Structure formats: C-alpha cells, structure tokens
Structure 1
Amino acid sequence: MMHIHIIGICGTFMGGIAALARAAGHTVTGCDAQVYPPMSTQLAALEIDITQGFAAEQLDGLDADCYVIGNVAKRGMPVIEEILNRGLPYTSGPQWLAEHVLQGLWVLAVAGTHGKTTTTAMLTWILEEAGLAPGFLVGGVPENFGVSARLPQTPRQDLNSRSPFFVIEADEYDTAFFDKRSKFVHYHPRTAILNNLEFDHADIFADLAAIETQFHHLVRTVPGQGKLIVNGQAPSLDRVLGRGLWSPVEYFAEQGGWMAGEADAQGHFNVWYAGIKQGRVEWDLFGEHNRHNALAAIAAARHVGVPPAQAIAALASFRNVKRRMEVRGVAAGITVYDDFAHHPTAIATTVAGLRAKVGKQGRILALLEPRSNTMKLGTLKDALAASLHEADQVWCYQYQLGWDAAAALAPLGEKVRCFDSCSDLVADVVRCAQAGDHILVMSNGSFNGIHQQLLDALTKPND
C-alpha cells in the first residue's frame, strides 16, 4: 500500500480518485483551495485529511509515495514548484486510475459535452440492478449510491469473484499541466458512449474541430471487439467517426437505431430498437435530453449482456445525481432546485425539462452563475438569452464576470435582472417569488450557498 497526496482533491473527479484509493487500502491526503458539497461531505466521511490551499509547506514531513496532480494545478503554484524542485514522484489522476484501478477491467466510458454525469449514473444503476456490481467513477454523487466512486464489488452471479466492469464519466478536459491530452484517452474503454459534442472549454480548445480531434483519439482506443454507442443527431460526431472507425456502432436518437417515444405527462416513454418496442420507461425524470441519456445507457448495458427489458425496468428506481435538478427544499410553497447546468445547451434543456414537469401554470424563476471557464470568457454569451427564454424571470450573478451580462441577456427584456451582490440578488428573488413558484439555481460551483440563503429568506421573508 502507498501514501498518495492529491493536489486538487475536492474536484468531483479527484474526489472520486481519493475514494477509490482509500477503498483500495492506500493512505490518502490532499489539498485544495475551494471545499464545498458534495465532495467535501464525501471526503469528510472518508476521514481524509485536507490541507487548505496550495502552499509548499504542506510537503514538509509528508513523505508521500506519489503525488497525484489534478488539472486545477498550474505551474507557479507553490506546491507544484516544490514537487518539481524536490524531484518528487508525481502523476495525473487519469494515469493513476488507469494503472491502479482500470487495468484488466471492461471499462464502459460515457463521453459528451452534456449528460455525462447523469448517463454514467444511469448505466451504473442498470448494471447494479442486474447484479453485475460494477465499479464506477461519476462526476457527481448518484443518489442511488451516495458516493461518487467505488471499486468493483462481488456480482450476484459469482460470489467468489469481483465484477469485471467499471463505468466511468469520460471527460474531454485536459489531463494535467504536464499532459494536455483529454482525460478520456487514458481509460481504454471497451464500450464507449458518445452522447453529443458541442464547443466548450474555450480556455483550452480553440474551436470545435480541436475537440473533435480529441474524440477521434478516444475512438482510436476502442477495440474492434468493443462498441460505440453514438448520438445519431450530432453532426460533429459524424465528423469524428468519419476520421476513422474500427469498432461496431449502435446509434440512438436515429431511425433504425434506439428511439424514444414521446413522453406522457409523467415523463414515461416507450423504447424502440430497430423498429421493435423494447419496453416502457416509467420514472420521475423529464426532458428529451434525459430520454436520450436513457437510450444510451440501455444500449451500453446491452453490450455487456443486460437485456433491454431488464435495463428499462431498472430505470424505474433510478434516482438522479446530486445537483441535477435536485430539490434543495420547499419554503412558503416555493420549491428551490439546484442544477449543474452552465453551458447554454445544458441550460436550455434543464429549463425545458423543468417546464415539462411543472407545466405552463408554474412559474420558473431561473438564477444563473456563469462560472465555468468558458462562460467567464464570454465565448458563448450570445447564446445565453435564447437558452433562458422558457423561464418566467431570470437573475444573473455577474460578480467579476468580465463581460456585460445585462447586454448579453437584453433580448429577454424586462424579465432579466443582473446583480454583482449575491445578497442583493437573493433579496430581489424573494421579493418577486410567490407560492407555487419554482426557483431553478444553475451553476457548476457553490454559488455562495445561495440555495440555503433562499430557503432561509423565504421562511422568514419579513425579517
């Protein structure tokens, strides 16, 4: 067993690495600058010691066997400079995972600009319900499991072995400051879902073509006896496959492949494959994007031997991932949701999904923190207003944004308000909110804990 020290341990991916390493019997410590749920809760439960910040002094007396460096770490950080100056052994999170966990396993990887976390959780739950006891690493905390990562467990079918399957969220973001390849090229999947592909991560990719190149690299790692599960409605993925294809492909959201029927008022829908009805998904999720996520998960599960009918039945008990349309509370008849959406396409599908759930009568009050690197750069700001058009009121937290949020959202007219102060934003939302409203908070960060601020203020609005 070894002692590993994780730089940037509180990110969703690196927090999962910490959980896996701890479960494997290693001593785990780490450091980070921003600590907030759900990863902070998971790491606390694992009793992992965390140093606040990236000071070099944390290395004194530590004597770790390996330093696992997350992509939050940059040259110039004192702890990074000290690791390099001392000649200490270091690696990236994806490389450590590939060498110490994934080796010899049947890896099912879920890639795409949107829906990776939810689809990974769906696929993992289907395999779990089928008794396959997979290992997994999800970029969030699936409600069905309560943790973001675990090692393969003992399958029902063979109590004397461990599961050969591992499901992983396959991120296209770069690996580390010393390895600029996308994380997912390290995973060598046998089953790979390509959920969709749009421009994102403007801080590291010049354009969509650059991301398509990375997806092409992923396709190159899938063996000929493997399988690609591909969204048939994504021209960018057609271009990726057009650059070279060595594995069988099954398409979803395309005639002749896996198709979802129209959802009813409860979000239930029929599943079809090759024109033959496979069953009916009856669950609590809404939105076309979730129906597509389900198709991809069902198809991938079929590749490892789970019959579609069994996969469809498993989705009836699927609970979503924390921070994916998660209800944080109800106060004064007003429901507050937390969602990770931060790209215009994800924002649009999230709002549309909530609209499908609450109908035309329920008001949606959308709160947005443009916090991702891409949104901070303003690269996609021109698409932001259109992504929010189904919301009844919109608030944007523009503190230190660097571009004019009010101008970008001007097409929304009088229903949009922009604030530099989170407390002022909360006060304005509470002033406007009324019983029966749905407050949808969207951010890929903590948003200053605004969810609880809202619930507290709504409980005692006159204090």
Structure 2
Amino acid sequence: MISGPISTIDLGTPPSCSAAGPVHFVGICGKGMSSLAVALHRAGVPVTGSDEPLAYGEPVALLQAEGVPHRLEFHPDHVIGASKVVISRQYSRGNPEVEAVLAAQIPYYSLPQFILEHFLHGQKNVVVAGTKGKTTTTTMLAWILEQEGLSPGYFIGGVPKNQMPPGRFPGRGLNVIEGDDYETLFWDHSPKFAYYRPSTVLLTNVYPDHPEYHQGDGSSLNHFRTLMCQLPANGLLLTGDNGPLSRQVAEMAPCMRQRVGFEESADIRIHDWNQEEDGIQFTLGNTKFFLPVTGRHNALNAAMAAVAAEHHGVPLAHSAAHLSAFQGVQGRQDLVGSHRGIDLYRDLAYLPESLLLVQENFRLRFPDRRLVLLYQPFIVNGLPGKDSELSAVMSQFDLVLLADVFKPVLCAPVNPGFSDTVQAMLSARATLTHRVGTVESWPQSVRPHLVPGDVVLAIAHPKVQPLLDHVVEALAH
C-alpha cells in the first residue's frame, strides 16, 4: 500500500496543488499521450497540450469530453509557464515547441520516462506487451482489478467502451501498463516498455511488425529482451501465443513462465470456447466465462487477464463476473453504421495474423452474408513477404476493395506499389478484387461495389478512420 499523498509534479506536491505549474504535452492527441494527460487532469494536475491541425479520432474526442485544454497547432509560446513537458515520439528537432523546450531548458520527458519517475518506482507493475491484443488485454485486467475494488493505477493506449478513463494515476500500489515496443523519443531509441519495471509481464504474441523501427526479427527480439531482463526472479511471465518468436522471448525470462491457450500443451488451458450471437463463452479451470465481445482472440485475452488477476489475489470466479460486463475498446470491430442492408465495421487488424482472426470471427457471426474487406495498406506492408501472407488471408473474403497505400512518401518503409502487387496476387487466387483509390474517394468509389446484405470490414490507418462516416452516409443514396 502507498502511504501519504501521492506526488506528481515535484514529488511531494499533492495532485490538487497547481503551484508547480502545468505539465505541457507536445503531441497530446496521440493515444498514449491523451491517456496520460487525462490521468493527470483527473488527479488535479494542470495540463495543457498541442498537436497538429489534422489530429483525429478517439483521443481528440476524449480530450474534449474530459475538458483537457489543448490546441491543434504548435507554437513556442505554448510551453511558457510549463514546469515539465512530455514530448511525443512523433515529434523531433524542428518542431517549434521541441525547440522552445530545449532552448529554455525546461525539464522534459518522454511519456514512459514520466510515468516511471512519477508513478512506478516501488510499485507492483503488470506490463502487457506484444504485437497485437495488448490494448484489449490491458483494459480487461484494469477493469477486473477496478471492479474488485483494488483501485489500480493503469495506462491504456486506447479508449475503453466501459465507463472508465484510459489512464489513472496514482493507484494503490498496483499498476497495469500497456507496454509498447515503439521507440521512446527522438533521441532515445529504447522501446517504451523498457521504462516500466515489471513484476509481471503478459506477452500476448510476437509477430514481425513496425518495419520503420525494427530491422528484422533479431531487432524485435532485442527489444523484448529489455523487458524480460527486468523481470525479477520471483516475477511471472504469462504468454498467450506459442509462435516461434514468442517462444524465443519467453526463454529469456528469468522467472516462472506459464502459457495460457487452447492447446493441450498450454500450462493453463481454455476449454469449451464458443461464439454465441451475443458474445463469447469459455471455461478456465472450473470457471465458466461469458463476455459480450466477439472472437476467439478475445477469449485468450480474457483468460490471460483473469490468470494475471488471480496471481494478484482475485479469484477466477470474480474475474468471470466482472468480465461479463466488459464492453471492449473503441476501434475494435466497431459498427460504424448501416444503410440499405449494408453494415460497415472498422478494425485495426492490418497484420495478416490478426486479420485472419477477425475474418474467422466475422464468418461465425455472419455465416449467410457476403463478407467484404475494405483495406488500406500502410506502414507494416513494407515488411518482406507480407504481400504474399496478406493476399492469402484476403482471399478468404468474398470481395476485396483495395485502396492505395497510405502516405507512401512520408512513410519510407512502405512500398507505394504494394497495392498493385497484392491485387495481382489476389487475381491469381481468383479473388474478386476492385481498386478504390485513396481513402478520400471512398464515398464515391466504394458504394457501386456493394449490395444489400453485405458486411463490410474496413481496415484503414487511424488518421483516416473518421472518414468512414462519409462512406456510411454515401450508402444511404
């Protein structure tokens, strides 16, 4: 337990005290940055922030709903009066606020460094890492612990659909942190989770990803090694995937290791999984779970969260009760809208491995309807071999509407001709495919290819997902 008031700005100043001046966020509209900003704002810390004019989606809506002051422009004057500044990894030298912070020698932090120095030392920290599934799993575990009355600190790189903010600090000695393997700051190339000092790690999976950051599997493994090396000998590593990269990472852990899964070889096995019309059910040990979310992958996420909660004193039966009210995270298989018998959903399953899971889930949910994939390639599609893997998964859809690559000039690892290559591969597989151009043209280019009864799964870069509303509007005509 933590004794006394929790320090925030000056390590001794109560959260409600504004004498230390505000914390300013350069890049406040990022998912992680907005989560931390909301956590500080709710703790009584004065917060300001700036971002680019084209900031988008859930983080902007979250900041507005929470009343966190922010501007959609950068200017050197915005950092005046800040006692500390948190800088997003997205911004570097040349940004006017970054330059002003350096020139004025204002104390500045990366996001993970700020979280570590103000909230994590001396605590029990559960870090959820992996390529996919970490946001949902983090949210599930935080929800269980919160509903159990343990009042954890937590940090989620997304917006929960349940009535809980995406970040809260301080907690009562136990923190749940989503651990990203992206680099930390413009001069700090360590992965973010290198700062989180775990006592427990949940590793969802490890796939090749982030070609703009990792130079092959060896680079990715080196980053995960930094997380494994921090685990104490009396710590715990929970894994949910038995792939070759996940096994290599797990072998680095110097502590007890357990794998949760559906296979007989799993240490903690999931039984009797089933997709129902209104959710999923499975059995863990002798405890039956039902969650009002969809997908086999979410059964695994929930099982990992429940086992981690049990490790911290929460009975499995309690976790099952709490998860029965779990609604998920925004941006995952969300229904954007429906018109003329056509339903449009959105998701972030851009990797072949995750897209296959979502495709299988949609087949179970909509067995008698045509399944259409609306796909916009972006950064990950610069990975060698992904064109072949992705086209194989795409061929499982009844119709593929393939868009142009997102920002091929600004994102060097992306091959601007990737869509052409994938289209040729889909044609070779006899998969019905149409090109639909840039995302801005979708309201006009997508509608002619759809018919009543279609279920459309849209995979697009988060920055352009708000434009899907215009596609739905076009379906009405």
Which TM-score applies when normalising by structure 2? 0.87
Q: Could you tell me the percent identity over the aligned residues?
A: 29
Partner of 1:284: 292
Cα contact 2:387–2:418 (8 A) shared by 1 = no
State the Cα distance separating 1:118 from its structure 2 match.
0.9
SS of residue paired to 1:374: helix
> Higher mean Cα deviation, 203-212 or 389-398?
389-398
Cα contact 2:280–2:295 (8 A) shared by 1 = no
Partner of 2:273: 263
Partner of 1:366: 373
Q: 1:344 aligns with which of 339, 347, 352?
A: 352
Q: Structure 1 residues 265 and 180, CA, compared in 2 at 3 Å: closer, same or farther? A: closer
Does residue 305 of the first structure (1) align with residue 322 of the second (2)?
A: no
Cα contact 2:274–2:282 (8 A) shared by 1 = no
Does residue 417 of the first structure (1) align with residue 434 of the second (2)?
A: yes
SS of residue paired to 2:328: coil
* Distance of 1:23 and 1:448 partners within structure 2: 28
Partner of 2:63: 43
* Distance of 1:257 and 1:328 partners within structure 2: 39
* Distance of 1:256 and 1:405 partners within structure 2: 38
Partner of 1:405: 419
Partner of 2:401: 395
* Distance of 2:324 and 2:461 partners within structure 1: 27
CA deviations on 1:295-351 (whole Å, 9 max, x unpaired) are 211111111011122212322211110001111222222222121222222222222
Q: Residue 45 of structure 1 aligns to which amino acid in structure 2?
A: A
State the Cα distance separating 1:292 from its structure 2 match.
1.6
Does residue 66 of the first structure (1) align with residue 84 of the second (2)?
A: yes
Q: Structure 1 residues 330 and 289, CA, compared in 2 at 3 Å: closer, same or farther? A: same
State the Cα distance separating 1:57 from its structure 2 match.
4.8
Cα contact 1:369–1:447 (8 A) shared by 2 = no
Q: Residue 215 of structure 1 aligns to which amino acid in structure 2?
A: F
Cα contact 2:33–2:88 (8 A) shared by 1 = yes
Partner of 2:10: none
Cα contact 2:204–2:301 (8 A) shared by 1 = yes
CA deviations on 1:267-297 (whole Å, 9 max, x unpaired) are 544334xxxx322222233333222212211
Q: Structure 1 residues 74 and 387, CA, compared in 2 at 3 Å: closer, same or farther? A: farther
Q: Residue 46 of structure 1 aligns to which amino acid in structure 2?
A: E
CA deviations on 1:33-82 (whole Å, 9 max, x unpaired) are 132221001111232232323444544xx221111111101223233233
State the Cα distance separating 1:265 from its structure 2 match.
4.3
Q: How does 1:160-175 map to 2 (within 5 A)?
A: 163-175=172-184
Q: Residue 198 of structure 1 aligns to which amino acid in structure 2?
A: Y
Cα contact 1:135–1:151 (8 A) shared by 2 = yes
Task: For structure 1, list consecutive stretches of 5 or more residues without a partner in the other structure.
Answer: 153-161
* Distance of 1:303 and 1:123 partners within structure 2: 11
Partner of 1:156: none
Q: How does 1:240-259 map to 2 (within 5 A)?
A: 240-243=249-252, 245-253=253-261, 254=263, 255-259=265-269
CA deviations on 1:365-389 (whole Å, 9 max, x unpaired) are 2112223x33367773332212322
* Distance of 1:336 and 1:125 partners within structure 2: 28
Q: How does 1:93-172 map to 2 (within 5 A)?
A: 93-152=111-170, 163-172=172-181
Q: Residue 173 of structure 2 aligns to which amino acid in structure 1?
A: P
Does residue 192 of the first structure (1) align with residue 201 of the second (2)?
A: yes
* Distance of 2:439 and 2:338 partners within structure 1: 20
Cα contact 2:381–2:418 (8 A) shared by 1 = no
* Distance of 2:300 and 2:65 partners within structure 1: 34
State the Cα distance separating 1:208 from its structure 2 match.
1.2
Partner of 1:204: 213
Does residue 443 of the first structure (1) align with residue 460 of the second (2)?
A: yes
Partner of 1:157: none
* Distance of 1:448 and 1:115 partners within structure 2: 19
State the Cα distance separating 1:352 from its structure 2 match.
1.9
SS of residue paired to 1:109: strand
Q: Structure 1 residues 423 and 69, CA, compared in 2 at 3 Å: closer, same or farther? A: closer
CA deviations on 1:140-193 (whole Å, 9 max, x unpaired) are 1111135321235xxxxxxxxx63222111111111112111111111122210
* Distance of 1:67 and 1:73 partners within structure 2: 13
When the two chains are superposed, the root-mean-square deviation of aligned CA atoms in Å is 2.2
Cα contact 1:384–1:409 (8 A) shared by 2 = no
Q: Structure 1 residues 88 and 10, CA, compared in 2 at 3 Å: closer, same or farther? A: same
Q: Structure 1 residues 358 and 146, CA, compared in 2 at 3 Å: closer, same or farther? A: farther
State the Cα distance separating 1:117 from its structure 2 match.
0.8
* Distance of 1:43 and 1:389 partners within structure 2: 39
Cα contact 2:40–2:168 (8 A) shared by 1 = no
Q: Structure 1 residues 91 and 365, CA, compared in 2 at 3 Å: closer, same or farther? A: same
> Higher mean Cα deviation, 390-399 or 185-194?
390-399
Q: Residue 282 of structure 2 aligns to which amino acid in structure 1?
A: N
Cα contact 2:200–2:235 (8 A) shared by 1 = yes
Q: Residue 366 of structure 2 aligns to which amino acid in structure 1?
A: V
Task: For structure 2, list consecutive stretches of 5 or more residues without a partner in the other structure.
Answer: 1-19, 409-415
Cα contact 2:21–2:81 (8 A) shared by 1 = no
* Distance of 2:460 and 2:55 partners within structure 1: 15
